[in-house]
Amino acid sequence: MLYYFLINLFSLKKGMDKVVGVELSHRFAPIAIRERLALNTEQTRAAIRALKESYKEIIIISTCNRLSIYAFGKSHNQILEYFDQFGNYRQYLSILPDSEIAVRNLFSTAAGLESQAIGEHQIIGQIKDAFDLAREEKTIGPVLDELIGQALKSGKKVRTETNIGKFSASLATVGYELIKDHGFNFEDTTFLVIGTGNMANLVTTVLDRNKIKKLYIASHDIDRARDMAKEWHGDAVDMQDMHTPLSEAEVIIGGTQGEINLLHEETMAVSKCPRANFALQTGGRKLFIDFGVPRNFNPELKNHENISLYDLDDIKKITYDGLLKRYDEIPKARMLVNDEVERFMVWLRNRKVAPIIEAYWNNLENIKEEELKWLLPKMDNVDDKTIDLLNRFTHRLLRRISNPSIEGVKNMAQNIHHRDNPINTAKEILDVKEVDIFIPKKKIIVGTRGSKLALTQTNWIVDRLKEIEPDYEFETKIIRTSGDDGDINVVGAFTSALQRAMLAGDIDIAIHSYKDIPTEEVNGLRVIPVTAREDHRDVLISKSGKTLENLPAGAVIGTGSLRRTVQLKQVRPDLEYQFIQGNVDSRIHQMESGKYDAIILAAAGLKRMNMLESATEIFNDDVMVPAVGQGILGIELIDKEGYILDLIKQLRLEETRIAADAERTFLIALGGGCNLPIAAYATVHGDQMNMTGVFANEDGSIFTKGSISGPVEDKRSLANELAMRLKEEVEELKKEITADAGIKQH
């Protein structure tokens, strides 16, 4: 630690470094995506070396369920750019843009809270392996050294003080249960284990509990296979000669990082390789358990009656019931993790002032040496023992005298952003004015929801603010809302918790999708629409790839919006429209799982997450008028003059502001928060504004749509005029329907 500390002692001279990260994990990415980005040891080394150009400290944790890259630097953007070289995968990535968010994610991972099998132990060893590899590549500095050490300590503490790891839920145990559940008698069963890495060792350990008929161990490294076979009384097989044991074995377990080509052709039925066709020719039952990433076995094997194949995603589903007991331990585990995260954050903040403390201590040491040089010649016959005693005494004296000052400086580090910064005062008091550390002019805490879309939008806005004020520090803080907990029926489901946090002083600003902001203003707060409007349109994503026009009658459309439902009914009244809830990823997953034939989403969110290519069809304004404010971002802040307001104003765009004001006026004129379908879209062309609006009853049986144009300075009166016109049309249609019903009844 001292070595690392001295090397990086003055690393904070310009810019505020922080712990950042980007993660691809089983939480948001299916195995088909994870295996494309899986890195073996040499690929991990290459990745670390590539990222060395951007970060002095970096670690990559690559496992079957995650690829996590953590670094100490100014931004996570360079890590995102590294992922981009593999293709457009940003929609699957979790962004960890700030120290506390990244640290909490790593500590939760080490505790087993982010694993497929909650509480599993293997992740501890995988983090250690990643740590060792990063050390070999010399990318572990003082921050990551402390971070990884504390993460491992936190993970062990959670498992010691809770029961989260004491119920069977490891991948090895799941594999063992699968074998038993499929009715294999161990004593009459031949096993083939492919690979000699950690997963293969775990599975072989499970097999060691029983007497088995025969065990084969196959590997590209025949020497390792022989060593493992000798230990477990099996036979070693070179991967090239695997066809014989493959045909003989009833249970085949894959756990190698390397692709097994003989079972991975796209179409086994037309393969010329006889070993790949064994599944079509053998008559016995076979069970394949695939722990590999990339997958070791061709998914086509599932189509054969005598074959049972389970990959990591299948195992994730199977383990659900077995994990329920571990889930009961999660609240206690999270409390422990939170304590450890706070402890590390105190250390990290203290580190900001380490150069001052070091310089102060060096000054004291120099004074001590000078005074001893004066004292010792004046003492007669001083022996070495006395000199040593004097040195120890003066050192202890300096420690006692300096300790209150050093602790005071550390306390100041916990709030380094005061207007008249106490750190500058400390430098004066301690006479270390020459020490140069970065002290931000201001610190702005940015509140956001924790969804991927919300974080993506927030990170984008923060990057724009940093461009304007590079000497400010921006800290992102996640606030959980009612909408995140599934309660979207309350007013301000996605905003009220952020507003309360702002009024309480926990955050300075909040980033919202403008369409989520209730019409009722919160006293003391104001919202400013900012930047250019993103794509305002809605899109259809269909499971079959068919457009709205080509979907069969009765197809089920998932949407959480009455606005969308009533407009689509004007075009396709023969489709079934059902309520859907959740973020972008979960809605797509619900469709892919068969609950819906298609779903409707906003183009803006998909575009910001680099997912617009997943859209089957983008609706024009003739089919679908967007929600009020759709595609616009709003920054909410305390309604008072000051540096925050001055900064936010620089992101304002006049066209966006005019459109937002006009559309919001239209919404308020029609009742604002009422549970009726309302849509509006305003555009500005020079000094003219055009606006289209929709108003209907809940079931869409009474539907009106209209447009209006005029000077931009009349935006509110134009919006009110259009709203009143559509409202009157609805009332007239209601009267006509009532009259017609009376005539028919008569």
Domain 171-318 is in which class? alpha beta
Cα separation, 628 vs 561, whole angstroms: 12
Cα separation, 59 vs 110, whole angstroms: 14
pLDDT digit string (tens) for 426-479? 666 666 767 776 667 788 999 998 888 889 999 999 999 999 998 888 999 988
pLDDT digit string (tens) for 129-166? 999 999 999 999 989 999 999 999 999 999 899 887 76
Active-site hit among 145, 484, 516, 585:
516
Determine the angle formed by the axes of helices 142-161 and 330-351, rounding to 10 degrees. 160
Query: Whose CA is closest to 494, among 449, 539, 440, 554?
Result: 449
What beta strand segments (E) does 136-206 contain? Answer: 190-194
pLDDT, mean of residues 22-46:
89
Cα separation, 302 vs 310, whole angstroms: 9
Number of H helices, E strands in the chain: 26, 23
Asked if 445-529+637-649 and 538-618 have one fold, the answer is yes
Please tell me the predicted confidence (pLDDT) of residue 381: 81
* 287: phi then psi, degrees, rounded to nearest 5: -115, 120
CA distances from 277 to 219, 242, 252, 290, 310 (A): 21, 13, 16, 18, 19
pLDDT, mean of residues 670-682:
81
CATH H-level, domain 445-529+637-649: superfamily: Periplasmic binding protein-like II (3.40.190.10)
Whether pLDDT at 277 is above 80: no
User: pLDDT-derived band of residue 379, with 50, 70 and 90 as boundaries?
Assistant: confident
Provide the residue type at 699 as one letter. Answer: D
pLDDT, mean of residues 336-356:
84
CATH fold for the domain made of 2-167+327-348: Beta Polymerase; domain 2 (3.30.460)
Please tell me the predicted confidence (pLDDT) of residue 147: 95
User: pLDDT-derived band of residue 639, with 50, 70 and 90 as boundaries?
Assistant: confident
Whether pLDDT at 273 is above 50: no
Domain 653-746 is in which class? alpha beta
* Pairing assessment for the beta strands 576-578 and 442-448 based on DSSP bridges: unpaired
Domain ranges within the chain, ordered by starting residue: 2-167+327-348, 171-318, 359-430, 445-529+637-649, 538-618, 653-746
Query: Considering the chain, what is the average pLDDT of its residues?
Result: 83
Please tell me the predicted confidence (pLDDT) of residue 9: 35
Query: Whose CA is closest to 249, among 209, 202, 216?
Result: 216
Q: What CATH number has the domain spanning 538-618?
A: 3.40.190.10
Please tell me the predicted confidence (pLDDT) of residue 102: 93
Please tell me the predicted confidence (pLDDT) of residue 493: 60
Weakest mean pLDDT among 182-186, 493-497, 642-646? 493-497
| Known active-site residue 516 | yes
What DSSP string runs through 122-154? Answer: HHHHHHHHHHHHHHHTT---HHHHHHHHHHHHH
Alpha-carbon dihedral angle through residues 715, 719, 725, 728, given to the nearest 10 degrees? -150
User: pLDDT-derived band of residue 13, with 50, 70 and 90 as boundaries?
Assistant: very low
At a CB cut-off of 8 Å and minimum separation 6, what does 250 contact?
Answer: 184, 189, 190, 191, 284, 285, 286, 287
pTM (two decimals): 0.63
